[in-house]
Structure 1
């Protein structure tokens, strides 16, 4: 705890008592001793306001009024402290009074941050691994830690109580428990935690003792066990971990965790069917070396990579093949290029989902899928997804991917191609590169777009004459420039050179004012200085003498050029039709000779430009293609196998969970066929599961996965090959046998169809309740299949949220407000970025008088919008404003 920087609790308490006494007792004493009695102004004095007696009386009145308000604020806070509740009264000086009262009442019990020499020798208990080290917690000995009835968590940027409760307590509504544990605590920066305050990075919050480091959205079904009837911890440990004695580890991981129904696991001998347990790693898995995502450059690029997850320091250099993406129809680009396109696609999806509305409860809800992406864009997104294939972590969701891409640090290197097995990257600052030959235009497209995927007004700027831009990217580019930040089209090359000259003058002045020798030195000392990397790209067959003169100074100013033509002062490369540099002259000739440069055909480049523009806010058409499954009717006989994929994937045999985690392709095949109930032929399946594998080998792997799946199901059911195939062949197609297998996704689509054809509201409520019961999470939650995200996951999530909003509205109309709120909460949990779901929840909370909860929802959602750099719609903002005004009353 602190009091104006005092770290010792006794000093803080003494300082607070001194200040409080001086204000409450000292001030009126001084006023009574030196200014009493007060000379009351006469009427004649008031008519002359400048009279000293009037001014003196006025000042004394203001001082006495301020003292009275402060005394009342202290009284209000004292009453609230004695009652252990937060006062709803709001008065001037109350925040200051609350700080003083809290310091006095709590400072004596605050642990002192001991110096290194004071800490007693002995073991130290560290808070869970998710918590970073903290100055106050690090010095506490083991005995103090074990006595704590809580765990600690250090707040990170953009954290909210709602999000912390969701991640570490398993239920976002438990944010109230965090408030109770921290109410009135003074944080290390001297701020007092009060209900509803903004969280500040670096604060150490107390969490309930059952807080876990689990983030359920990033765990696969391998580590989750749904308890079946009659199962015991010993049996689960023996089956899943290979040793029944390890039941204690399972109990320790799950003790006190909230289970379905609100109950908690407190006795290792008492389990209930349906509980979901976190399992520890198998011993052989724990011994496996951790595999990391390969690095994307052979050079030590000093700039953070906002379009790529940051590689760990110990990662080895990656082979060139992991850095390169070959596109169908021709084209080769860097993996970072694919990541930039993936960010744009994620941003466009977020914008579409935020705008989703449910116009009326009678609106028919269907699963709508966007039109398929062009092959080049699809291949780029797939390459980005697969770059996580060897990682233990799930690929980031759309929100995480977009927010992690924000940066003001300019790129230092431009990835230009490969030479043998080595990636080739060139420094942007001072780059003076010219390309000639039949492959030059395609190479310029790839290099410019690679930089454009990282471009905004803070990171990089590309200046291109309009005629040249149309030559490389087509006429449609001119309509997109308003949504391509960082791209500047100018009338001609002379205008581009004028812009460069102006930048030279401006940047020289900035360097002089900052006493820096060049732009890299300035960026090291002035991290917030927005000086983007600047690249001029143009056609100049014979070069430009004045431009050559300017480029002699470019390395000091963070400026480079990329020309189609020849350069007399830079490096000129002859690029053949196979995009290989056949001849290079100039300073970079050694690095570029015989290199194969990245390249893009015009059609692929145009498609990428449109995706970048969509990700930056260009309006796009909402999906209209109906993706509802035409699923088979439910089987008449008892279906012993149940496949659940709406949420975390689970295969149940007679109610018992079947683990086929070791047969990864068998599970992927099962999920794929569940999404295509009418079946797929072998070639289509291989294209989904093994798109980069030669046809004969892919066919062999398909039959191997199919055999694994059938064997696992037959062994678990005891059914022979004459009784069931589980996956049957009809003509050339393979499909799941509906008479033996129940798929929750098929049931979901049937319920959705029933809701569309319902003739009255009661029937619609019944159908939508069935939909709600199946919405256990996002489709295939925890699975890393790239085709699942591209084609199925988000369309189903949007349809689920729409259905839940309709159901909540129907319950609200019928007066069942609590059930309506539960359904709205379920919709927000499925997609926290869908504005209509958040608005419906906040509106209902407001109507129910639960203002604090409504305000917390508003702040949580606005923090997500702020992270994305967008604003709520006027209709939603109007609801938010009502809540904020009521909370301030």
Structure 2
């Protein structure tokens, strides 16, 4: 099958190229010559210019001339590209054709690289595929040795290369192996290697950011596999002695298997191949492995936690900082943050809202806008419609096939601010979209509302359902969903949309009452179903109820399970039912540890089932154990507004020698002249006083981390902070520390600012931070010192720090900075107002808002400052600024504080009284 596909690609690419080069002149000749039949004299030209005469044929002639110029450039590029392939060198990228030149290179690569790889012609016996509860393992292929066996070459000894834009295997082989014909060796080495949800399979489709293993004799590379460490389970399948990649590394002929590429075990964290791993250290290791498939669900949880903590900060008692998770909960949040794809979440939410806008603008009927599934790919979202396959969507949607339409993920860059604002004001039209699993090309979401009732069986049934509950309970697109959970053993009190009932019979009563109420509302608006009501802007009639029955109760109450399935009917009824176990549901998901299989009615929608050789396998999300209880506890902690003392660490130290930023040695503080190096984190991160610029990735991040941990940190601790969820190779850790040491330089007495040490690192006494200086100045509490402290603020803390700096949130550093700065700004502003300095009070509040933009105490200061300055328009403008901020980033979790409303009304009445007088 693969040979047929490759041959078709090769022939198709060749025909397309010949058509462009040979067919374009034919088309141009059919429109005539671009040259005039008779050349005009200079006198005629001057007369025509003077009277403004333009011959009617002139635009057409110019267009023909442009077409011939384009054809000439195209032919030149084709000849140059072909010459490079014939003479075995890489062609230089020309700018003559702009973005078409890389496409031309891809066409040529497709023609050459679609040819069979060496060794693929050897027939192999069919190899069974063994499915375990945790991973797919391709059985050991039969061995074929044409020469005495040599010791196996481990893939961790081979160099690697990170793919850049416009790269091809041909060009990589030319640059680093000296012979472009060796591209097949690179393809063989990387066969089956996974890159996120995708895997290497087609040699002429490689993507920027992928990391490829190269043969051992590759030269001119910046990194080698010594930096990458041992290959993960997906790079070297079990039975490695006979695996394709291992045979390629040993120079042995490769035998094709028939099974799919191996999938990473759930007990293993994903490996970021752009970084290094394989670290060997002594002592306890705290690295948290990031499970598979956390992109959208991790982003949903993280975004909700961040919004809840804005509310926490607004309600925080003075002198305290907000409460943060500890121990296992902090580890769970770290895992979720490491796997979260917030960019995908943003694109996904706006993309589904675009369907609602099409209906509002009457470009699409509600009946035609039903979406059964969404595929989230790296460059686009693909919407699988559940309605009429003949529906036509307007741009920016592009049809993939009859029922599937693609939306480029960067489409917002070409829209106006007014259009984007309209999208944010719409309710998400598909609140029941949940992640089913990951296809090789990206995450796959299914619309539960279209399915009605679903049963999930197999060893992974509970994990699949818990992931769906968490997604529905935290996703911002699912705010109009109520989730009822039956059979969960622990109490859930944090997730607002989730409630528990003791039995399925109780859930039947709730569902029936919900349907009766909703049918009456739908009749009032004349809508057929909840989806049509929602897309028709009758949101009050379209709330969705999802009932989830977990294993203990489903088996014990078969009659109630059947009644719930009947209530859910065929979908779009307002009730969705999910069961763990074999029940008479309309749809069924097999989750037996391998790829998921989705079964539905014979006349069902075009949902991918995952059980056909023509479809991509749907791999289940590998989620942390106890995810539902953990996320519920995280949300519960984020809604606690009691606060904790500033000196309390956010997480207890499991390593007695590693002390966080709030304990141990007193932070280095004082005037800047008392220190030689200052790490500035109260705004865009920068380091003043260094000997040389930071050039190695994460060297500056290491200095920032150590400067905020004055007692130092173990290697395990700082590596986990900088590369959460990844195992780093010892040489990479050493080179990062060495680069940081060189940049910091030596102190006046000749000692390194980052002394060498075994197993832990700490900066010297000559290194301080602007945060430490602010603390010291704030503690003196004089007007001069307070103002000097506030002047240290340049923007949001840790802005621009590589990797997102999750540790600054999890360790409570950002929360402590926000608490100290807001209290300091309010104190100084109060003093300014008492002293009659309204501009000084306004400046103090604005400085505080750079650190904590959602704290309403600072807006109350601004209102008072504007009033004290006799500026009623300033009072109105400040209040409107606050209202917009709360509407965009806080609601519906919180609203403008009653104290602020009372202050605004009082100042407004005073302004009105002044005008009346």
Normalising by the smaller structure, the TM-score range is 0.5 to 0.7
Q: CA deviation at 1:857?
A: 1.1
Are the equivalent residues in 1 in contact too, given 2:842–2:862 (CA < 8 A)?
yes
Q: Specify the alignment match of 1:269 in structure 2.
A: none
1:768 to 2:724 alignment: no
Deviations 1:274-298 (A, max 9, x none): xxxxxxxxxxxxx9899xxx99999
CA displacement at 1:730 relative to structure 2 = 4.9
Shift of 1:608: 0.7
Partner of 1:704: 735
| Residue 559 of structure 1, aligned match among 569, 575, 578 | 575
> Which 10-residue stretch deviates more, 334-343 or 842-851?
842-851
SS at match of 1:846: helix
Q: Does 1:743 align with 2:772?
A: no
User: For residues 854 and 596 of structure 2, what CA distance do their matches in structure 1 show?
Assistant: 51
Distance 1:412 1:825 in 2: 41
Give the corresponding residue for 2:631. Answer: 608
1:386–1:885 Cα change, 3 Å = closer
Matched-pair contact (CA < 8 Å) for 1:344–1:614: no
Hey, what does 2:719 align to over in structure 1? 686
CA offsets 1:28-70 (integer angstroms, 9 cap, x no match): xxxxxxxxxxxxxxxxxxxxxxxxxxxxxxxxxxxxxxxxxxx
Match of 2:760 in 1: 733
SS of the aligned residue for 1:871 comes to: coil
CA contact (8 A) 1:457 1:485 kept: no
C-alpha displacement at 1:562, in angstroms?
A: 0.9
Q: Which secondary structure state, in structure 1, belongs to the residue aligned with residue 484 of structure 2?
A: strand
Distance 1:561 1:723, change over 3 A: same
Partner of 1:486: 497
Aligned match of 1:540: 554
Match of 2:461 in 1: 440
Q: Which residue of 2 aligns with 1:648?
A: 684
Asked whether the equivalents of residues 434 and 571 of structure 1 are also in contact (C-alpha less than 8 Å), the reply is yes
**1:797 paired residue among 796, 818, 821:** 818
Seen in structure 2, the aligned counterparts of structure 1 residues 747 and 421 have a Cα distance that, compared at 3 Å, is same
CA deviation map 1:389-418 (0-9, x unaligned): 99999xxxxxx9xx9799443335321334
Question: Is contact 1:338-1:384 (8 Å) kept?
Answer: yes
Q: Per the alignment, in what secondary structure is the counterpart of residue 698 of structure 2?
A: helix
1:830 paired to 2:858 = no
1:410 corresponds to = 430
Does the residue aligned with 1:435 lie in a helix, a strand or coil? strand
Q: How many angstroms does 1:354 deviate by?
A: 0.9
Instruction: Kindly indicate whether the alpha-carbon contact (under 8 Å) linking 2:671 and 2:773 is maintained by their aligned counterparts in 1.
Output: no
Q: 1:505 Cα deviation (Å)?
A: 4.5
SS at match of 1:374: helix
2:481/2:497 contact within 8 Å kept: yes
Q: CA deviation at 1:881?
A: 0.9
Could you tell me how far apart the structure 2 residues matched to 1:750 and 1:621 are? 22
Q: CA deviation at 1:514?
A: 5.4
Check 1:351–1:590 CA distance in 2 against 1; reply closer, same or farther (3 A cut). Answer: closer
Corresponding residue of 1:353: 313
1:95-110, aligned counterparts within 5 Å?
none
Q: Which residue is equivalent to 2:138?
A: none
279, 282, 296: which one pairs with 1:336?
296
State the alpha-carbon separation in 2 of the partners of residues 522 and 818 from structure 1. 52
Equivalent in the alignment of 1:161: none
Query: C-alpha distance in 1, partners of 2:533/2:786?
Result: 60
Q: Residue 782 of structure 1: which of 791, 800, 804 is its match?
A: 800
Aligned counterpart, 1:877? 901
Alignment of 1:9-158 (within 5 A): none
Distance 1:691 1:842 in 2: 42
Q: Where do residues 245-260 of structure 1 align in structure 2 (5 Å cutoff)?
A: none
Contact 1:445 1:599 in 2 (8 A): no
Displacement of 1:667: 1.3
When residues 329 and 586 of structure 1 are mapped into structure 2, their CA distance, relative to the original with a 3 A threshold, is same
The CA deviation string for residues 725-744 of structure 1, in whole angstroms up to 9 with x for no partner, is 221135643222233x4532
Give the alignment's Cα RMSD to 1 decimal: 4.8
Report the Cα offset of residue 765 of structure 1. 2.9
1:608 aligned counterpart, secondary structure: helix
Task: Determine if contact 2:437/2:445 at 8 Å carries over to the other structure.
Answer: yes
Q: Is the 8 A contact 1:647 1:778 kept in 2?
A: yes
Q: Hey, what's the Cα distance between the residues in 1 that align with 2:295 and 2:507?
A: 30
Residues 518/653 of structure 1: CA separation in 2 closer, same or farther (3 Å cut): same
Secondary structure at the aligned position of 1:606 is classed as helix
The answer to whether structure 1 residue 499 and structure 2 residue 510 are counterparts is yes
Measured at CA, do residues 666 and 332 of structure 1 come closer, stay the same or move farther in structure 2, by a change above 3 Å? closer
In structure 2, the CA distance between the partners of 1:513 and 1:807, relative to structure 1 (3 Å rule), is closer
Supply the distance in 2 between the matched residues of 1:288 and 1:786 (Cα, whole angstroms): 29
The one of 691, 700, 706 aligned to 1:673: 706
Aligned position for 2:331: 375
Is the contact between residue 825 and residue 848 of structure 2 (CA under 8 Å) also seen in structure 1?
yes
Q: Aligned match of 2:472 in 448, 451, 455?
A: 451
Does 1:861 pair with 2:877?
no
The separation in 2 between residues aligned to 1:825 and 1:462, in whole angstroms, is 42
CA contact (8 A) 2:296 2:342 kept: no
Q: Does the 8 Å contact 1:337/1:450 carry over to 2?
A: yes
Runs of 5+ unmatched residues, structure 1: 1-120, 122-286, 299-313, 359-364, 394-399, 756-763
1:164 — aligned with what? none
For residue 566 of structure 1, report the CA deviation from its aligned partner: 1.7
1:423/1:853 CA distance change after superposition, 3 Å: closer
Superposed displacement of residue 795, structure 1 = 2.0
Residues 424, 591 of structure 1: 8 Å contact kept: no
Q: Is the 8 A contact 1:333 1:446 kept in 2?
A: no
How far does residue 769 in structure 1 lie from its aligned partner after superposition? 3.0
1:74 aligned partner? none
For 1:819, the equivalent position in structure 2 comes to: 840
TM-score normalized by the length of structure 2: 0.51
Change (3 A) 1:329 1:863: same
Q: Structure 1 residues 666, 529: CA separation in 2 closer, same or farther (over 3 Å shift)?
A: same
Q: Could you tell me which of 579, 582, 591 is aligned with 2:610?
A: 591
Aligned equivalents of 2:641, 2:477: Cα separation in 1: 19
SS of residue paired to 1:631: coil
